[in-house]
Structure 1
Amino acid sequence: MRGSILWKGKAVCSFLLLLVLAASCTAPRSVINSGKVTAPGKFKAGVNFGGNIATEPIGQLDDIAKATVDAISKKDSVYYDGEIETATKALLAYALDPVGPTFDFYIRYGVVPRLDVGYKYASGVHVFDTQYQFMGPTGTPENPGVGDWYGSVGLQYAGQSSDWIDNLFLDKLQPVLQFTAKRKDITVPIIFSKSFGPEEEKGSIAFGAVYNHTFIKYGFEPGRLFERAGAEVDRVSSIMEENSFGSYGLFANARIGFKYVYLVPAITIYYQDYGSYKLLKNTTHSFSGMTFIPSLGIQASFGRGR
């Protein structure tokens, strides 16, 4: 019984934590496309609502209390201790995989048969991608080809900085820690889909695998953080580091509708070993965990094509 109560309490804390992070930027790594690319001259546009739920940053943020942050931020001088070390881990973990709700809107255009391009604005992040269809017909519901299975490969690029820190309760530690981070993500999904009706006239169901590689540059430039060395007091040295890591995932999505307007539910799941990272005072810490990205969107198709 006691274990059940503790588990429920932790779950409630995690839920409240997600509410605190409600305005955060999140890594745009969900896969909502089918294996069929946009027909030449046609457009697809849509919006998605979802969430980025990553186990590692949730666990790290759960280790530091808001009251502790408030107390530290009110001090003129702060000395390095276990609480400061926990805060640095939490900030870095969140930069590696920002947790919170997601919102994006996007548009795609068919360039030539079997190739389209897209732009997405995802929670403050600009995303560019292209997709090549290597399997299946390239017609339209009005002029269908033969077959109802599709396959394609995509390439997506996104970049973001640590502006999201202003939305965390840890922002009060910025005068002390001066944390910054910039990341770039390259995502490569392999997508297979089955059409409902000719050329996805009534929608589709899709699934596949996805690889994401993240390049991150981060640093701490502590302005009011000190350490004691015997009778002496020294300022903690700043650091600036770079690292990268790969994420491996599976996904499934569906398009449910008719001809021009579709409902798009999707789920993408990643596992990543983020690697080992240098922190203040020459300490290091390793991070790893799962990320779940559910979403629900609406998509519309339009354009005359060619």
Structure 2
Amino acid sequence: MKIPFSLRSSRRLASIFAATALLATSCTAPRAIVATGKVTPQGEFRLGYNQGFNFATAPLNKAGSALKEAASKAASKDTVRYNGAVNSLQAAALAYILDPIQPTADLSIRYGLAPRLDAGYKYAFGSHVIDAQYQLLGPTGSPESPGAGAVSGTTYASIGLQFATQRAKLPSLPFLSDINSVLNFRASRNDLLVPLIFSQSFGPEEEIGAISYGVVYAHSWLKYSFAPDNVYVSPTQKVSALSDQSRDFSSFGGFLNLKLGYRYFYVIPAVSIFYQNYGEYALLNGASTSIKGITLVPSLGFQLRIPTK
């Protein structure tokens, strides 16, 4: 049967509305790659701020089957009968925690520990991140004191390691709050990110910036639970809580960024893209859901270089 255009349009609008409800700032591990192949010179500091947006297809897809009206009706009832809608609400909650659609921001500080090694800390407004980067290729000087062979166009390469930890939660928005009031959802996660970065310098030792590109491997560990108080599988039997479940998954991606400025201050537009098959996740009452998707992370960063010599 052919679906009338107006009905198809309203369903599409409902899906967009539900997905838009997910647009909230909350803690998430930063995945924008704004580093170049050259590490912070030994003894120097770099301060940074990065503002981005995490656009993921997984919650967008799941939101279409877990509309605001369904969550609102369930939250307003004293008892909720377990059915497919409850499964959809669980899937939407998981998809959001796995890969939210939301703005992202982080503050960072880095320090050059050795000629080819630096380390840093990022605060992503709820997510705490530590990372290090080792330079594999290219000179190790500074714009004031260029290393041997440092000219415009010099190629640099490095490998990084980033670890983030956070207590994940659904934000206080009507749609997501309704889901949480029905399901009593709890989650925490840890994320490991390993970027391989190549860059070409603009000016000696990136004096006026660089163009960078590369590939990224990421691995995440998630622990979650559902403990609803008023969901029933029969008029007299409550659904059993789903105690702590542990899952992990890998992500693969690539990135491109442009560093532009002069010596002490730089602007860094960047974009990263990831693919992840999150795998199968247990739900209440023996049900399960599978989740996968693509994530696009555009960002704009600002970096201040603080020479110590």
TM-score of the aligned structures, taking structure 1 as reference length: 0.92
Whether the aligned pair in 2 keeps the contact of 1:210 and 1:248 (CA below 8 Å) is yes
1:17 aligns with 2:12: no
Query: What's the offset of the Cα at 1:18?
Result: 3.5
Report what 2:308 is aligned to.
Answer: 304
Give the structure 1 partner of residue 87 of structure 2: 85
Partner amino acid, structure 2, of 1:31? I
How many residue pairs match? The answer is 301
For 1:247, the aligned partner's letter is S
Specify the alignment match of 2:237 in structure 1.
234
Secondary structure of the equivalent of 1:166? Answer: coil
Distance 1:220 1:198 in 2: 55
Q: Which moved more, 1:17-26 or 1:271-280?
A: 17-26
After superposition, the Cα gap between the structure-2 partners of 1:199 and 1:110, relative to the gap in structure 1 and judged at 3 Å, is same
Output the CA distance in 1 between the equivalents of 2:247 and 2:155: 39
Counterpart of 2:183 in structure 1 is 177
Tell me the residue number matched to 1:218.
224
User: In the alignment, is the contact (CA less than 8 A) between 2:252 and 2:274 conserved in 1?
Assistant: yes
Structure 2 residue aligned with 1:44: 46
Q: Give the letter aligned to residue 35 of structure 1.
A: G
TM norm structure 2: 0.91
Residue type matched to 1:106 in 2? S
Task: Decide whether aligned partners of structure 1 residues 295 and 6 sit closer, same or farther in structure 2, where only a CA change above 3 A counts.
Answer: farther
- What residue identity is the alignment partner of 1:122? A
Which of 278, 299, 308 pairs up with 1:295?
299
The aligned counterpart of 1:207 is 213
C-alpha deviations, 1:162-219, integer Å up to 9, x for none? 2344346221232321111111000000000000000000000000000000000111
Show the 5 A alignment for 1:96-245: 96-145=98-147, 146-147=149-150, 148-167=154-173, 169-228=175-234, 233-239=236-242, 240-245=244-249
> Separation in 2 of the partners of 1:123 and 1:62?
29
In the other structure, the counterpart of 2:62 is 60
TM-superposed CA distance for 1:96, in Å, is 1.1
Q: Identity of aligned pairs, percent?
A: 44
- With over 3 angstroms needed to count, the CA separation of the structure-2 counterparts of 1:299 and 1:9, relative to structure 1, is farther
Alpha-carbon distance in 1 for matches of 2:174, 2:24: 9
Within 1, Cα distance between the matches of 2:189 and 2:307? 35
1:30 to 32, 45, 66: 32
Amino acid in structure 2 at the alignment position of 1:98? P
Amino acid corresponding to residue 81 of structure 1 in structure 2: N
Cα distance change, pair 7–49 in 1 and its aligned pair in 2 (3 A): farther
Inter-partner Cα distance in structure 2 for 1:210 and 1:168: 35
Letter of the structure 2 residue corresponding to residue 153 of structure 1: I
CA distance in 2, matches of 1:293, 1:251: 9
C-alpha root-mean-square deviation of aligned residues, in Å?
2.2
Partners of 1:244 and 1:282 lie apart in 2 by 20
Q: Distance in 2 between matches of 1:154 and 1:4?
A: 50
* Maintained 8 Å contact 2:22/2:176: no
- Unaligned ranges ≥5, structure 1: none
Distance 2:202 2:215 in 1: 21
